[in-house]
Amino acid sequence: MLAYARDRRRWLVFGRPRRVGSETHRERAEVLLESLLTLGPTFIKLGQLLSTRPDVLPPAYIDVLSALQDEVPPADWADARVVVEEDLGPVEERFDEFDTDAISGASLGQVYHASVGGDDVAVKIRRPGIEALVEADLRVIRWSLPVLIRFVDESRSFSLGNLADEFAKTIREEIDYHREARMLAEIRSNFADDDRFLIPEVYEAYSSDRVLTMAYIDGTKINQVDELDAKGIDRQQVAENLQRSYLQMIIDDGVFHADPHPGNLAVTDDGRIVFYDFGMSGRVDSFVQDRIVEFYIAIANQDIDAILDSLIAIGTLSPEADRAVMADVMELAIADARGEDIEQYRVQQIVGQIEDSIYEFPFRLPKNLALVLRVATVVEGVCVTLDPDFDFIATATDYLTEQGYREESIQRVLEDTAGEVRDASRSAVRIPPKLERTLDRLDRDDQFVRIGVEDSDQVFATLAKRLVYGMLLTMSLFSMGVLYALDAPIAAVVAAVFSAVLSIVLYWSFRTPSSISTKPQFTRQNLRQRREQE
């Protein structure tokens, strides 16, 4: 936290603002990674969440933390057995067979293979004692983040405040297996008629808020491309199906699986995608769904202005952002997503470009969009692993067209255009009389113009202070000379000290760049510098 705060201002609460290089960021990110691993389960989850928040951390941090995997040794079976038997009863009586060697271990729970009534099942057991540990760690986070917020800018303080609330809500939901069972069942029903996907069935009689029993579905991990090729599976088709599944969940269904990393996705021998672990899942309200549709349609049409408008409408981009620079970045991102040759402008892959711009620009991530961003980022990585030439824009465009969203968008545009034409016709009738009255007032010299000047950076206040300091300094120097001439050495020394203090204050007012220049933003000059560095 101390290093992160000093990235903005040399001496935390005073001193010149500064920017450190990517190497310094990477070194600090490595230290942060080790600290999170040492601090345990809750902070491992926090690190995973931070790795999807480029509005909070610089790109170097995102790159380092993205390697953080939620894989820890499982708890002893004796401890896990206590949890099962307290909730369900004796293991031998409830299950036909139970393999006490965990299939996988994570920070919050572990999964075992068992059988019930002749069916293979996967039994997910909450890690013993994790509730108290999570609550203690959340208290530390709730205490720490408000302190850090005092040392960062307004945009990042907004995101950090949201992060604390979002993380507490997410991790509590993830250890509530009753909620996970409900979300799993709802998403499973949404894909019930689609044979391209498999979602495990929940065995409610063998589940509780700490134990979740599901049908066991075997498959090849989605990132094991060599094995998929050996089985003759069409990886390009799997990538397209995966992208379409998340478009349906987010845009149509409003409920989605929010942890699509390769460990939670598999492919059966006949090419169907299997979803595991619904502990991290979320909902999207209709307003956000509509804005996301607008965003995807704008991308499909390559309408840069519409893309920026949709980002502003959804609350992720400040209306004060430099639209010209943002338009350049979006054009590069779209060209990169389509695999087009952009020569020296190709700085990095589309996610890197967007994440970098989010950190540099006045971006904010509302709570209801954080999980959506995480999903989009991770799914993109999985699809590129399956098919390096995968075209996200083409897939999204086809999906929106098939579902009729683009036709609805065109209809709305036509309706809006008709309304604008009607308004323009009314205005055309009202303008001539108003124009004639204005010209008459100008002819009589009876026209006044009021000008309001916005000064959010308090430039005029700073100039006024400098003017006052200068006047006081002049007066004190004059007084010092007069007092010395009148043989009043003590008074002259006091005047000299006062003059020295004023000189220092005036000097520092000019040393502080933020006093009269604008806030640092991602400008065209910075863009050129980055291209040269690349």
pLDDT per residue as tens digits for the range 85-107: 999 999 999 999 999 998 887 77
CB neighbour class for 87 (10 Å; exposed up to 12, middle 13-18, buried from 19)? middle
3 state SS for 236-286: HHHHHHHHHHHHHHHHHHCEEECCCCHHHEEECCCCCEEECCCCCEEECCH
21-25, 40-44, 68-72, 133-137: the lowest-pLDDT one: 68-72
Taking CA atoms, 368 is separated from 141, 159, 190, 306, 376, in Å, by 20, 12, 21, 21, 14
Pair of tokens at residue 420? 């604008």
First CA to last CA across the chain, in angstroms? 29
User: What token pair was written down for 51?
Assistant: 């790795």
Using the predicted structure, report yes or no on whether residue 259 has a pLDDT greater than 80. Answer: yes
CB 375 within 8 A of CB 250: yes
Which of these ranges, 42-46, 197-201, 427-431, has the smallest mean pLDDT?
427-431
More confident residue, 251 or 58: 251
**Cα–Cα distance measured from residue 77 to residue 348, given in angstroms and rounded to the nearest whole number:** 46
Cβ within 8 Å of residue 133, ≥6 positions away: 40, 41, 42
What is the average per-residue pLDDT within 200-210?
93
Query: What secondary structure letter does DSSP report for 76?
Result: P
Q: How far apart are CA 214 and CA 184, in angstroms?
A: 10
Supply 32's token pair.
């942060």
- Under DSSP, the state recorded for 205 is G
- pLDDT band of residue 528 (cuts 50, 70, 90) is very low
277-298 tens-digit pLDDT: 898 888 888 888 888 888 888 8
Q: How far apart are CA 14 and CA 2, in angstroms?
A: 14
> How many Cβ atoms are within 10 Å of 15's Cβ, its own excluded?
13
**Region 501-514 average pLDDT:** 68
Please answer whether residues 527 and 366 qualify as being in contact, where contact means their C-beta atoms are separated by less than 8 angstroms. no
pTM above 0.85, yes or no: no
- The per-residue pLDDT for 425 is 62
Instruction: Express as a percent the part of the chain with pLDDT over 70.
Output: 71
